[in-house]
Amino acid sequence: MAQVLEKKGGPYPKNKKIKRQNEVFRLHFDLGYSAVKISEMMNVNRNTVNGDIHYWYGILSKEWESYDIEAWHMKQVHRLESQRTRLFQELEKTTETTVKLSIERMILDIDIKMTNFVSKSVYTQDWLRDRSVAWINKWAKENNSKYRLLDANAAWYTSEEITEKVRKLIHDGKIEKRGKI
């Protein structure tokens, strides 16, 4: 299944690095394995695998700029839901316990994949929003603007001092994000 790459340390030669990255792509994006599992399967350091996955996300994000990402996401969710429906149909037909357990496990795997997919999407949106606010505020400071962006969802302009005070209140639990004092 996975190619095992023997290595004692130090950087990979270019041809082996490309081979490893391609295998990580196949295992992660095509087959859905986690970085930890890929690391075990290929006998490669987990940080190396995480770096390869990060590399591929960077490449894919450039390609995806021209695509409708939301439509692609919905297509993937629809595929998983269709597969799940077919598995439930098979589950109803079978009477053999071992087959039932196997199908139930496959259904659980699909449910976990869909949950992870949604969780990653939400996390990525929050991360992008936070990074955008930080970038805008850095730009504002470098350009001596008296305004700062408090939250990507808020249409408020505040001074740097007020922004920091509000962030401290949020951190101290005295106000909730998108909440009241």
What tens digit of pLDDT does each residue of 28-63 get? 887 888 899 999 999 999 999 999 998 888 887 776
Q: Report residue 20's pLDDT band, with 50, 70 and 90 as the boundaries.
A: very high
Cα separation, 24 vs 4, whole angstroms = 11
- The mean pLDDT of the chain is 80
Q: Report residue 180's pLDDT band, with 50, 70 and 90 as the boundaries.
A: very low
pLDDT of residue 10: 60
Residue partners of 87: CB distance under 8 A and separation at least 6:
103, 106, 107, 110
Q: Report residue 177's pLDDT band, with 50, 70 and 90 as the boundaries.
A: low
55: tokens are 């590399």
96 or 12, which is more confident: 96
Please answer whether residues 2 and 41 qualify as being in contact, where contact means their C-beta atoms are separated by less than 8 angstroms: yes
Q: Is 101 left (phi over 0), alpha (psi -120 to 50) or beta?
A: alpha
> Which among 13, 15, 14, 33 has a CA at the least distance from the CA of 25?
33
Residue partners of 162: CB distance under 8 A and separation at least 6:
148
Q: Where are the domains of the chain?
A: 14-64, 69-129
Q: What percentage of residues in the chain have a pLDDT greater than 70? A: 80
